[in-house]
Structure 1
Amino acid sequence: MTADGPIQIVAVDYAGSLEALRAVREAVFVLEQQVPAELELDALDPRCRHVLARDAAGLPIGTARLAPDGRIGRMAVLRAWRGRGVGSALLQALLRLAREDGRDRVSLHAQAGAIDFYRRHGFVPVGERFMEAGIEHLAMERHLERPLAVDDRDAAVATTAAIVAAARRRLWIYSRELDPGLYDHPRVVEALRRFGTAGVAGEARILLQDAAAAQRAHAPLISLGQRLPSVFAFREVGDPVDRTYPSAFIANDAGGYYFRALGHRFDGEAGLDARARARQLADTFDAVWERARPCSELRALGL
């Protein structure tokens, strides 16, 4: 679900869901972006695998497709639903389909305004920018490293603790409000305590979207950071663009990561030896960290 209510992401039959697919794609591509209708609908559509996002009332709000050659395309989310994690959830669904098909690589043509979105999801540029349907694009691709599926809280706790335990000196944690049920779980807190007292000059950077909520909840990680201020550093995102980021993740400097497209949920993907993906998430984190506000109020003891 998103912060605004539950959504459903499903793989659909093209012929049976054509009306819903067209409703979204025509609204976004033809009406909003002025792409000619004869270019938007093509002969490849019936041969593609399609995913559809519906809101709580069952209305279509987003769609995307995976072509037979592994190219992702026609990624579209209605304007009112952008910035709420729908695009990330659609993309993750297509990546799962690609892995089920046995693919080791997917590609796409990213519109210029969506390049950073795809970078955050592990895609890298290929070649120079070009014009397509009157819009600037960039070819991008991602190699699929067969990540682990995380489906529930128990798996989330085990995965997070394993990533913390495997860290050498660096951890990056991006969270909305320190995820009750995860970062307050005794197993995760103990793993973080061990990291903080290992004596290896480690550093854990923690980015929050709502520091006050974590403070009000008396999150154990805040108390741990107060006892070990040289290890745990907290900042809160402030840039409006950063505050719309719907995902959450943890990464370490040993190639481990756990990424959740919808940050308030536990389901996601993880890898314990996926250095390229972990590094990409750390780079995304560091760019936001530089713009974020230090949470000096979380340093004081006796909250």
Structure 2
Amino acid sequence: MSDNDPALQPFRVQLVDFTAALAELRAVRDEVFVGEQKVPVELEHDALDPLCTHALARLLDATPVGTARLTPDHHIGRMAVRAPWRGRGVGDALLLALVDEARKRGWPDVHLNAQASAIGFYLRHGFQPVGERFFEAGIEHQAMVLALSGPQRIETRAAAIESAIRAIDSARRRVWIRSFDLEPWLYADAELLSALRRFATTGRGNEVRVLLHDAAAPQRAHAPLLALAQRLPSIFLFRELDDPVDRNDPTAFLAGDGGAYYHRNLGERIEGEAESLAMARVRQLRTGFDDVWERSRPVSEFRALGL
């Protein structure tokens, strides 16, 4: 795909007034639902629309490329992204905007009916299936729910890996890792490494910053993440904690700019907390990370590895 491809253009997501944005909302939804999926127009256009909160993704030239809505009864729906912009983070941004709005309203949870082909997308954002699959407008769906009651307690390796992968998969441009020594129980996991590889090879100018307590340990252990980073040295950046105050801080985490994180107060242990859509918490983690990053030393010994 060339740099001039329209699908690579920046976009922004805003909550919009339904009446004012009606033509743009309908343009996207009619193209996706009525045109592509053959949903009858009388089912796609409903009386609930004026009562909903609508999110609209536009390119910087104001071209509408995606939309979704939040209903008064706590349902997210009408998620539609025009074909050329799929896989570019538009759906993630739309979902994040509506979940953030639900959090601001103090709602305990949000629900949606996911098309079967999109179940994996919503699972990565922390939604869980409820009940059996069903058909709506001739398309197979799965009811799903996301609890908004706060962080999830992580106590097992499986849950830790799942949370870390979710943070990577939902990230748009940046992933931040703070680790003692690229703990093998997490950073040698094949599925997690696959998630990092997917993130690093999307061609969107992505970056993974890694802060280590002990840079020598993963090199001695031939950590698989270093092998991946060696093949993608412009994506993975490494520094080692240098300031004694920073080195005495035992926390560790993995976070992505999509709003998901996995955090451990005692970084050598599995136990911690995770959230799927918590932009405020991720901003807090990033601010602390950036401060420490600036006073940490580049890992020059990794240069022999091409990093």
TM-score range relative to shorter protein: 0.5 to 0.7
Q: Which runs of 4+ in 1 moved over 4 A?
A: 167-176, 179-183, 219-226, 234-237, 254-257, 269-273, 275-278, 299-302
Q: 1:195 to 1:35 in 2, by over 3 A?
A: same
Aligned residue type for 1:89: A
Could you say which residue in structure 2 is the equivalent of 1:128?
132
Q: Indicate the SS of the match to 2:187.
A: strand
Give how far 1:6 is off.
1.4
RMSD over equivalenced CA pairs, Å: 4.2
1: CA distance between counterparts of 2:27 and 2:37?
Answer: 14
2: CA distance between counterparts of 1:182 and 1:112?
Answer: 28
Q: 1:225 to 1:66 in 2, by over 3 A?
A: farther
Could you say which residue in structure 2 is the equivalent of 1:250?
none
Q: Indicate the SS of the match to 1:25.
A: helix
1: CA distance between counterparts of 2:85 and 2:222?
Answer: 40
Asked if 1:229 is matched to 2:225, the reply is: no
2:51 pairs, out of 29, 47, 50, with 47
2: CA distance between counterparts of 1:63 and 1:88?
Answer: 11
The gaps in structure 2 that reach 5 residues or longer are 1-5, 230-250, 264-271, 278-301
2:100 pairs, out of 84, 88, 96, with 96
Within 5 Å, which residues of 2 pair with 1:221-300? 227-229=219-221, 233=225, 258-261=255-258, 268-270=259-261, 272=263, 274-275=273-274
Give how far 1:101 is off.
1.1
2: CA distance between counterparts of 1:225 and 1:58?
Answer: 50
2: CA distance between counterparts of 1:4 and 1:85?
Answer: 11
Asked if 1:85 is matched to 2:89, the reply is: yes
Q: Indicate the SS of the match to 1:83.
A: coil
Could you say which residue in structure 2 is the equivalent of 1:204?
187
1: CA distance between counterparts of 2:304 and 2:254?
Answer: 31
2: CA distance between counterparts of 1:175 and 1:271?
Answer: 10
Q: Indicate the SS of the match to 1:9.
A: strand
2: CA distance between counterparts of 1:255 and 1:104?
Answer: 28
Could you say which residue in structure 2 is the equivalent of 1:281?
none
Q: Is the 8 A contact 2:7 2:85 kept in 1?
A: no
Give how far 1:168 is off.
9.3
Q: Indicate the SS of the match to 1:24.
A: helix
2: CA distance between counterparts of 1:51 and 1:180?
Answer: 21
Q: Is the 8 A contact 1:54 1:60 kept in 2?
A: yes
Q: Indicate the SS of the match to 1:72.
A: strand
Give how far 1:115 is off.
0.7
TM-score scaled by length of structure 2: 0.61
Could you say which residue in structure 1 is the equivalent of 2:237?
none
Q: Indicate the SS of the match to 1:208.
A: helix
Q: 1:224 to 1:60 in 2, by over 3 A?
A: farther
Q: 1:42 to 1:196 in 2, by over 3 A?
A: closer
2: CA distance between counterparts of 1:28 and 1:235?
Answer: 41
Could you say which residue in structure 2 is the equivalent of 1:21?
25
Aligned residue type for 2:255: Y
2: CA distance between counterparts of 1:3 and 1:55?
Answer: 9
Q: 1:256 to 1:3 in 2, by over 3 A?
A: farther
Q: 1:224 to 1:56 in 2, by over 3 A?
A: farther
Q: Is the 8 A contact 2:150 2:275 kept in 1?
A: no
Q: Deviations over 1:211-257 (max 9, x none)?
A: 7x9xxx9x8779757624255545769xxxxxxxxxxxxxxxx9965
Q: Is the 8 A contact 2:70 2:98 kept in 1?
A: yes
2: CA distance between counterparts of 1:119 and 1:259?
Answer: 16
Q: Is the 8 A contact 2:174 2:257 kept in 1?
A: no
Percent of aligned positions that are identical:
42
Aligned length: 227
The gaps in structure 1 that reach 5 residues or longer are 148-166, 238-253, 262-267, 279-298
Q: Is the 8 A contact 2:108 2:149 kept in 1?
A: yes
Q: 1:258 to 1:182 in 2, by over 3 A?
A: closer
2: CA distance between counterparts of 1:64 and 1:301?
Answer: 48
Residues 21-30 or 226-235, more deviating: 226-235
